[in-house]
Amino acid sequence: MEKISLKNVTKVFGPRPAEALRLLEQGAGKDDIFNQTGHAVGLSNVSFGVEEGELLVVMGLSGSGKSTLIRCVNRLIEPTKGQIFVDGDDITRLEDNALLELRRRKFGMVFQHFALFPHRDIISNVEYGLEIQGVPAAERRERGREALKLVGLEGWEEAAPSQLSGGMQQRVGLARALAVEPDVLLMDEAFSALDPLIRRDMQHELIALQERVRKTIIFITHDLDEALEIGDRIVLMKDGAVVQIGTAEEILTNPANRYVERFVEGVDKTKILTAQAVMQPSRAVAYPNDGPRNVLRKMGEHGLSAMFVVNRNYQLQGVVRAESAGEAAKRGDASIGSIIEHDVATVAVDEPLHNLFTPLADSPYALPVVADGGKLLGVGVKASVLEALAEGGSGS
């Protein structure tokens, strides 16, 4: 279910946007519009939805419109044209009081700079949004403590901001946003001011936190590695327009145009792509009650020396080798049930590609790719994995 939906959102900066909008509709570029009108196009007909509980990353270089976009979502910046829906309601129609209430109740925002009050201790900083809402002191103290516990800062309630590291201060900012129990978190370059190691730790913390709280999050970044690391989906922007929307795998394997290709060409794809990206359909499978002669026939038809065995729900049961099936046929066995090798190495469908090389090298046959519950989805073969390694392993 979509929590947020943007429909043709456009933002023109300047006192008389009508001419800029007209040129934009005629296909004029951002630079041409500025040269002709003196108006800057911040966003150009942006449309996409955010699913409830999704962590959506909006990324692009400086001037791409990503920060303008996030501020339009809660109307800190007024869109010039278009609609923004939150829970099905068009918030571009809200009057000031209703908009203020929406921001207080539905949105939490985490900024690049921590914006902590130096004269307040940590718990008072976290409680600030609740204080603005008029929440009673005892309740906001309890909710503040719970928020600090969520971000791993239990025990730091009475410390001053100056006593905390940059990463810890950013956690306080995150706790402050979580304390008001928002439906949506808006994070604008939230980790950009942190040192690289602390930044990586915060990315992992955010992923772990999202597993627990399942908030709808729009996360702004200019860092491709960060986007690939944390995003359920990525919105890639250029010159105020959306260039491509998709998962990390979709953007890496099917770039929409040359701009996207150049944007991602330095990425080590083997760290991002998963077994699902390279698996192939299993050419044939056997069932436990199949006779050995029938299994041998299917192996011969498909050029296989071994065949995976599944039950009627397609859950992997093991593997049967051609030699074993041949011996069972000579004995006159009615089924292959007694010759199934149950100890089979498998990989999960979301296993990173670089983790497949060793098990493939050790396996005498293809590597079964399974979903939760052991359902066979496909097989990884050496040729497809080696091809992906050759394309992406060097990062060039």
Judge whether 382 lies within some domain.
yes
Q: Is residue 326 part of a domain?
A: yes
Q: What integer pLDDT is reported at residue 396 of this predicted model?
A: 35
pLDDT of residue 314: 93
The pLDDT value recorded for residue 394 is: 41
Write down the pLDDT at residue 353.
81
Query: Which pLDDT score is estimated for 193?
Result: 78
Please check whether residue 332 lies inside any domain of the structure: yes
Contact 161, 116 (CB under 8 A): yes
Angle at 205 between CA 142 and CA 1, to 5 degrees: 80
Domain assignment present for 303: yes
167, part of any domain = no
For tokens 């519950």, the residue is 373
At 12, list the tokens: 């023109």
Structural domain count, the chain: 1
Going from the first residue of the chain to its last (396 residues), give the mean pLDDT of each consecutive group of 10, the final group possibly shorter: 95 94 92 94 97 95 93 96 96 94 89 84 94 91 93 92 90 91 92 83 88 93 90 95 93 90 81 81 92 94 93 94 95 95 90 82 87 90 65 44
Q: Which domain holds residue 281?
A: 276-392
**357 in a structural domain:** yes
CA distance 45 to 65: 12
Strands 233-238 and 241-246: antiparallel
Q: Between helices 166-179 and 137-150, what is the axis angle to 10°?
A: 130
**Exposure letters 368-379 (e unless 16+ CB within 10 A, then b):** bbbeeeeebbbb
Nearest one of 128, 124, 181 to 150, comparing CA atoms: 181
Q: What is the CATH number of the domain that holds 290?
A: 3.10.580.10
Residues 6+ apart with CB under 8 A from 332: none
The residue type of 91 is I
pLDDT of residue 127: 94
Give the CA count within 13 Å in the CB-facing half-sphere of 138: 0
Residue 134 falls within a domain, yes or no? no
| Measured distance CA(49)–CA(1) in Å, rounded | 9
pLDDT at 289: 94
Identify the pLDDT of residue 389.
56
What is the SS3 assignment for 287? coil
* 333 part of a folded domain: yes
d(CA 296, CA 364): 18
